[in-house]
Amino acid sequence: MKYIVHKIVLFLAVGVFFGLTGGSVGWAQNSLGPPLESPGAAGRESLHLNTIGTYSAGFVLQSYGYIGVLADVMSQGVYEPEMVRGMLKETITFLRNANQQLSLYQDKTLRFSQADQRFIDGINSIINDLINEAEALSAFAESRKEEDLQRFETSRKKAWSGIKKTLGVN
């Protein structure tokens, strides 16, 4: 029962984080332009890129928030370090899978616009920073070493800087 309550609290905390900050879709739309209504054959590629961009923006924002919430609940003793490490392991797997899939869009033969390519590169960079952040938090949960905490903090700041730059978030 305690575990279920904590999962609900975690879900609500992430939801509140995105509710207070305006949600990810608005940020993605600001970066990618308005969503297409009726793309037709010529606009299908733009529709796909906008959809990928919107989901990517939401994914990195939610991952950033989720890792932060895990750090907070661990620091407050709500979750045991082993539980946090297990949740981070799942998160790292999802981040790596998403990064691998997005890397397919870095193929220069696809000839995306420079803006689209910068966005894809930016998202991949953010995901790498989030992986580093999650790995550092997982290491800190086990070791409690200052160097792991510093690595977490450095990666967290770098990820947020990338989010601000790539998604135009303040």
Closest CA to 56 of 91, 95, 18, 20: 95
Give me 95's structure tokens.
Answer: 């981040």
Contact 167, 126 (CB under 8 A): no
Q: Residue 39: its pLDDT value, please?
A: 57
Which position has the token pair 């928030």? 65
Q: Residue 40: its pLDDT value, please?
A: 63
- Report the predicted TM-score, pTM, of the whole model to 2 decimal places: 0.77
Residue by residue, pLDDT tens for the chain (170 residues) are 344 434 433 444 444 344 433 333 333 444 445 554 555 655 777 888 889 999 999 999 999 999 999 999 999 999 999 999 999 999 999 999 999 999 998 887 888 888 888 999 999 999 999 999 999 999 999 999 999 999 999 999 999 999 999 999 88
Give the Å distances, CA to CA, from 124 to 77, 95, 97, 105, 117. Answer: 32, 10, 11, 10, 11
- 2-10 LR contacts (CB < 8 Å, sep 24+): 3/83, 6/73, 6/78, 6/79, 9/73, 9/78, 10/66, 10/69, 10/70, 10/73
How far is it, in rounded angstroms, from Cα 85 to Cα 39? 43
* Residue spans per domain, the chain: 2-35+47-167
